[in-house]
Structures are given as structure tokens and as C-alpha cells.
Amino acid sequence: MTDLDFAEETLATLQERHPRFHRYAYAFLLDALHTVIGGMRETRHISGEELVHGVRDLAMERYGPLARTVLEYWGIHSTEDLGEVVFALVEIGILVKQDEDSPEDFEGLFDFVEVFDRNYPWTAAS
């Protein structure tokens, strides 16, 4: 089995178990995780809040003013949804959690409309 076959099989399993989320939601969350970890001076466990802010930042960087639209298309409407994606990845062994980690760590960290729409960091063209 190649890495690509494993990835496809894993994404298919996730989509089957949690059909509410698009397969790209899982891949994007893992990209955000790698981005957050890559920006650290030393590797350590990151909190749900750190990961959520990493997802926010990466979504804004990649998708700009369409960030909320893209995330919502993938089934992610709130930080709680990001927690569900994380724990789905934990469930199948892609991510690991510490004993104190829980889905509640992702509750109400920010409002998508507020962050992605009302407070979007618009800049004037130069």
C-alpha cells in the first residue's frame, strides 16, 4: 500500500464515520497543525485553542475573504466543529490526545462571522 492509498483509505474511513465533514476538512486541519508546530521553537503538545487559531490563520492566508465560505462548505461552522474533526482524527489514530484534552477545549473560542467577516483584516490596494 502506498502513502497515497493509505491517505485515500483514511479519508474514506473518516468520511464514512463522520459524513458531516468533507474529506478536505481533515486534510486542512492537519495542514494547520503542521503549520502551528512548524512555527514553534520546540516541539510540544499544542492546545485546542492554539490549533483553532492556526486553522483561522491558515484559512485566512489561503482563502482570504472566502475563508468562512470554504470552511463552511467542508462542514466547519464553528470552533466546536474543529474539535469534532480533531477527535475524529484521534479516534482513528492519526492524532493523539493527552488525558486532559477534550472536545470542550474547542467550545466558543471565536465566532466565525465575527472573525472571518466583520473583523476581516482588509487592506487597501497599494
DSSP state of 51: H
Residue 120 gets the label, from left (phi > 0), alpha (psi -120 to 50) or beta, of beta
Q: Answer whether 0.85 is exceeded by the pTM.
A: yes
81 and 56 in contact (C-beta within 8 Å)? no
Residues with Cβ < 8 Å from 26, sequence gap 6 or more?
11, 14, 85, 88, 89, 94
Nearest partner of 30 among 72, 92, 117, judged by Cα: 92
Each residue's pLDDT tens digit, 19-55: 999 999 999 999 999 999 999 999 889 999 999 999 9
Q: What is the DSSP letter of 116?
A: I
For residue range 48-93, what is the model confidence (pLDDT) as tens digits? 999 999 999 999 999 999 999 999 999 999 999 999 999 999 999 9
**Quick one: cell of 11?**
479519508
